[in-house]
A and B are shown apart, each in its own frame.
Chain A
Amino acid sequence: MSVPPVTEAELNAYVDAVLPPARAAEVEAYLAERPDEAARVASYREQAHALRREFDQVLDEPVPERLRPPPPARALRRYAAVLAWIVLGGAIGWQLHAYTSVRQVEAGAWARRAAMAHVTYSPEVRHPVEVGADQEAHLVAWLSKRLGTPLKVPHLGGLGYSLVGGRLLPGDRGPVAQFMYQDGKGLRLTLYVRVNPDASRETAFRFSQEQGISVFYWLDKKLGYALSGEIDKSDLLRVADAVYKQLNP
């Protein structure tokens, strides 16, 4: 009948929103009767915000030359174990030789970044996203602010994919947004959104596929989109089409 006493560890877990809902409710009731403790919890929450306010700017600073990766030749010799990745890059690069325009090569390079971001984050079990779909409005507002232009997040429920959430990533020209979706079986797609250097440009869908990852990418005036997933080209095209239609109603 009586509620077990609230421990210090639980107060911290409450701050980090990782308590089971039932226990969180008990902690809430406990705090409601103890203004001092409630103030302490509030100040812990504020600490996390203050830390991000203070240090998030580091993310936008240009990376100093000395921290950039070594030239490829040296890298190839040293890191033979990552052959798979080199093959991926090489294959996409080879495809790009078919194109002649510098702009198109550039477009392919960012699609490759999108594919890498997909590979990096889609296997994540505990931290697939920074902000979850339960805070969708906040997520969109935050990423719009960081990219400096209003974003829209497509809803793909009609195709069986629900929004997991999103995250901010460093791109080659500033912040980039990644939205993640998953279907009922846990299959994940990511939509990578960047700000285009040339805001007047539009392109058709382009496609590349390597190592089982399919990517459709296109430029749509201010923003560029790359949709990645480990699914068939035709399935991914259906999703890309839905994304495009929602963004251009």
Chain B
Amino acid sequence: MSDDDGLIAQQIPRLRRYARALTGDRSAADDLVQDTLERALSRYHLWRRGSDLRAWLFTIMHNIYVNQARSRARHQHEALEADPGAEALRGRDPDWMELRDLASALARVPEEQRAVLLLVGLEQFTYDEAARVLEIPIGTVMSRLSRGRERLRILIGGDAGVTALKVVK
């Protein structure tokens, strides 16, 4: 294994952790990591030596994820029209028992909020770094973070009754 691969390889477990939490699915997560690694290796010469390799890889992953999410939304839309039964698989309308499960609660946090929540809460990026990874202003990071955290708190049902009512619009 050559050394440049080694540097990137060190980051794979973290990329997998973030991707797993982001997608909520093991094989979708590893697909995302694989796409990220391929793109990163083909663009390695663009990485500024001495800058944060991890942040650079996460930026690449985020861009791929966003692009795939767009095409996923398109396909999902088509699939729903073609096959109403497919919604049961994707619609994810878990009952309250399941909602207490962190992973499924996370899946119900809007994607853009979930990304911030995970970068800051799981991956310990600073707000500034998260802003650069997601290529959004820091104020947007802050507002997505606070909305995402509140959303997740309600979904987990941290303090039952009152907040549960808010979910049922």
Q: Which residues of B contact A116 (CB under 8 A)?
A: 3, 6-7, 10
Q: Verify A78–B153 contact, CB threshold 8 A.
A: no
Identify which of residues 75-114 in chain A touch chain B, using a CB-to-CB cut-off of 8 Å: 75-76, 78-82, 84-86, 88-89, 112-113
Q: Verify A63–B13 contact, CB threshold 8 A.
A: yes
CA distance A249 to B23 in the complex (A): 49
The answer to whether residues A78 and B30 also contact, given A9-B142, A54-B102 and a CB cut-off of 8 A, is no
Q: Which residues of A contact B126 (CB under 8 A)?
A: 18, 126-127
Query: A11 interface residue, CB < 8 Å from B?
Result: yes
Q: Verify A79–B152 contact, CB threshold 8 A.
A: no
Q: Which residues of A contact B42 (CB under 8 A)?
A: 78
Give the residue name and chain of the B residue nearest to A9 (CB).
Answer: B142
The answer to whether residues A76 and B2 also contact, given A12-B142, A52-B122, A55-B17 and a CB cut-off of 8 A, is yes
Interface size class of A (residues with CB under 8 A): 35 or more
Query: A133 interface residue, CB < 8 Å from B?
Result: no
Query: B83 interface residue, CB < 8 Å from A?
Result: no
Q: Verify B6–A127 contact, CB threshold 8 A.
A: no
The answer to whether residues A78 and B34 also contact, given A47-B121, A70-B5, A86-B2 and a CB cut-off of 8 A, is no
Stretch at the interface among A38-46, A151-159, A219-227: A38-46
Main secondary structure of the interface of B (DSSP, over half): helix
Q: Which residues of A contact B134 (CB under 8 A)?
A: none
CA distance A64 to B41 in the complex (A): 18
Q: Which of B52, B128, B153 contacts A43 (CB 8 A)?
A: B153
Q: Verify A58–B13 contact, CB threshold 8 A.
A: yes
Identify which of residues 44-98 in chain B touch chain A, using a CB-to-CB cut-off of 8 Å: 44-45, 49-50, 52-53
Q: Verify B44–A81 contact, CB threshold 8 A.
A: yes
Listed A/B pairs (17) with beta-carbon separation below 8 Å:
A8-B146, A47-B156, A50-B156, A54-B103, A55-B21, A55-B122, A63-B12, A66-B30, A67-B12, A68-B9, A69-B8, A69-B9, A79-B45, A86-B2, A88-B3, A120-B10, A126-B126
Q: What is the interface of chain A, defined by CB distance below 8 A to chain B? A: 8-9, 11-13, 15-16, 18, 39-40, 43-44, 46-48, 50-52, 54-56, 58-61, 63-64, 66-70, 72, 75-76, 78-82, 84-86, 88-89, 112-113, 116-117, 119-120, 123-124, 126-127, 130, 169-170
Q: What is the interface of chain B, defined by CB distance below 8 A to chain A? A: 1-10, 12-14, 16-17, 20-21, 30, 33-34, 37, 41-42, 44-45, 49-50, 52-53, 102-103, 106, 117-118, 120-122, 124-129, 142-143, 145-146, 149-150, 152-153, 156, 158-159
